[in-house]
Structure 1
Amino acid sequence: MKDTEVTAELVTPGDVLGNATELKAGKGAYLNDTTIYASLTGTRRILPPLPESLDQRATVEVTGHKAHGPVPEPGSLVIARVTKVMARMAAADILCVGPKAVCEKFAGIIRQQDVRATEIDKVDMHLSFRPGDIVRALVLSLGDARAYYLSTAKNELGVVSAESAAGETMVPISWTEMQCPLSSQTEPRKVAKVGS
């Protein structure tokens, strides 16, 4: 085995990386008692000790996955594309977390009760969103079936971009309507308030 050779395996936070009697905790690892654990998701690597080092234990480290990009967390703002609208919820694909684009596919669900803050029982999902709409939403929690629960129940949340039947990008004209600049047709939406 060459000095620079490393062994790699995928680990997630809390995975046991080794024992402190044999290894030192490096980047992305922490020591608890005599056990070394991963502190992030990534690749476990064992780095041999430097020949001149007094401590001849190898170092175990975790190199994070840059390719994974940001991951939605409760409280984070996301941009999502609506994929399907049903009677009680809308399904969406999360495109960005904050200003950063995601690298993996994350599914989101906007439930009827999370569309707006008032008159929740009067919300009509088909009058709030259409497939293809781009929405700004807040992540409430990791819901069921590996989809995040999203909320548009604040003024600044909701549809930020939508395409009309004519294929034009519509402009918001009120909190509940967007208009096609070509045909002047209006369509109902839960519009995100722009600016202050």
Structure 2
Amino acid sequence: MKTKAMEDAAAIYRTPGELLGSAFDYIAGTGTYTFQNKVYASLVGVQHIVEARSGAADLRPSIEVRREKQRGAIPQPGDIVTAKIAKVQARMASADIVCVGQRAVKEKFTGTVRQQDVRATEIDKVDMHASFRPGDIIRAEVLSLGDARAYYLSTAKNELGVVSAMSVAGATMVPISWQEMQCPLTNQTEPRKVAKVE
């Protein structure tokens, strides 16, 4: 018999924008989406594979991401977090932290990405409005606890930055370089500080 501890140890945690597999192998289920024949997570949670029912027209298993119901995580300096940009100003962007590593947070934690923490080079040329937009999902590192209201976050590494963004047309944009994303519907490009995808 599986214990709760054994189930937790076997659980695979997923975050928005994370590649789950090929659309040729899986049907995109709850908490996922497909793009260019690949299935990605659309929310924070635990990955589940659901086998097709016998006699079903499509025999591929479904892949799902379901929200976690356990105690939430608390950000610590050095942690990699996923956050949603709430507001962008000239010298900083504020974001709501949604998960720490691959664990969802239960309480509200706010993070701040300062202009000097957006990227590692040409710091003085950073344009906050060309790096992030409200609604963007970013991957960032917690630098410190900051002030009483917010954690200081950094996206100054190649693998950190915007992982998911919506275009003006309402489509999930695709990264085309480290500083641009493109709308698949209109082919319009928008500037972003893009996280490098493995």
Give a deviation string over 1:62-98, Cα, whole Å, max 9, x none.
xxxx964110000000000000000000000000000
Structure 1 counterpart of 2:116, one-letter code = Q
Give a deviation string over 1:15-74, Cα, whole Å, max 9, x none.
xxxxxxxxxxxxxxxxxxxxxxxxxxxxxxxxxxxxxxxxxxxxxxxxxxx964110000
Which of residues 117, 133, 138 is equivalent to 2:120? 117
Counterpart position of 2:172: 169
Counterpart position of 1:4: none
Q: Give the paired residue count.
A: 130
Give a deviation string over 1:146-175, Cα, whole Å, max 9, x none.
200000000000000000000000000000
Q: Which runs of 5+ in 2 are unaligned?
A: 1-68
Distance in 1, matches of 2:187 and 2:136, equals: 18
Counterpart position of 1:85: 88
Counterpart position of 2:20: none
The percentage of aligned residue pairs carrying the same residue is 77
Following superposition, the deviation at residue 145 of structure 1 comes to: 3.3
8 Å contact from structure 1 (residues 68, 104) kept in 2: no
Q: What secondary structure does 2:177 align onto? A: coil
For residues 10-89 of structure 1, the aligned pairs below 5 Å read 68-89=71-92
Larger Rg: 1
Q: Which runs of 5+ in 1 are unaligned?
A: 1-65
Q: What secondary structure does 1:173 align onto? A: strand
Structure 2 counterpart of 1:169, one-letter code = T
Which of residues 141, 158, 162 is equivalent to 1:159? 162
Distance in 2, matches of 1:180 and 1:80, equals: 21
Which of residues 178, 181, 197 is equivalent to 1:178? 181
Following superposition, the deviation at residue 144 of structure 1 comes to: 1.3
Distance in 2, matches of 1:173 and 1:99, equals: 25
Distance in 1, matches of 2:148 and 2:171, equals: 34
Aligned-residue CA RMSD in angstroms?
Answer: 1.1
Q: What secondary structure does 2:194 align onto? A: coil
Instruction: State the TM-score, normalized to the length of structure 1.
Output: 0.65
Following superposition, the deviation at residue 128 of structure 1 comes to: 0.1
Question: Stretches of 4+ moved more than 2 A in 1?
Answer: none
Distance in 1, matches of 2:168 and 2:87, equals: 16
Distance in 2, matches of 1:189 and 1:171, equals: 11
